[in-house]
Structure 1
Amino acid sequence: MEKILAKELKGTGITANAVAPGAVATDMFFAGKLEEVIEKAVAECPFGRLGETDDVAPVVGFVASDAGQWVNGQIIRVNNLYAYNQLGFTIEN
């Protein structure tokens, strides 16, 4: 979708990107989840914690700013390798 939108916006000076956060500690993330599901999510993150909105906001700010004008049509994963771990891979210490 981002690539199509980026092509549609060609010549306007507007970029089209998506920021894809992993497990971020928000009310929406915690809603309806059992404690063991939350603990598993934390255990699968290499930093041993859920993300915070402050982990994601700088990336959003960057792609929305003039500094990010050369980034276009991208999905930027801000997930501390969380999605990688969902595929069944493990991280060795």
Structure 2
Amino acid sequence: MTPPESLDIAEQKRRFHWQCRRGASEVEVVLNAYLERFFEVDDEQRRARFARLLECEDVDLLEWFTRRSEPEDPELRAFVAELLDRVAQKG
């Protein structure tokens, strides 16, 4: 499989769109909102963090997105907090 960083942004977004399909609709809403609103304009580091987030289990994502818990990894914790704040903003 081709590593995400070697794909162009549009191809990454297309592949990630399918990875955003999850068992919990609450998780899908957050992932898809980020993908549609911010993915293309974000820098490579944030896109890489999003790719890492997509590797996580649905149950963990649901806990994090409902703010019942946080990722142990500090970098992922900061990204999840930022993602939730950004997605919650209108416009």
Smaller-chain TM-score bracket:
0.3 to 0.5
Larger Rg, first or second structure (1 or 2): 1
User: TM-score under structure 2 normalisation?
Assistant: 0.33
Choose between structure 1 and 2: higher helix proportion: 2
User: TM-score under structure 1 normalisation?
Assistant: 0.32
Choose between structure 1 and 2: higher strand proportion: 1
Which is bigger in relative contact order (C-alpha 8 A, separation at least 6)?
1
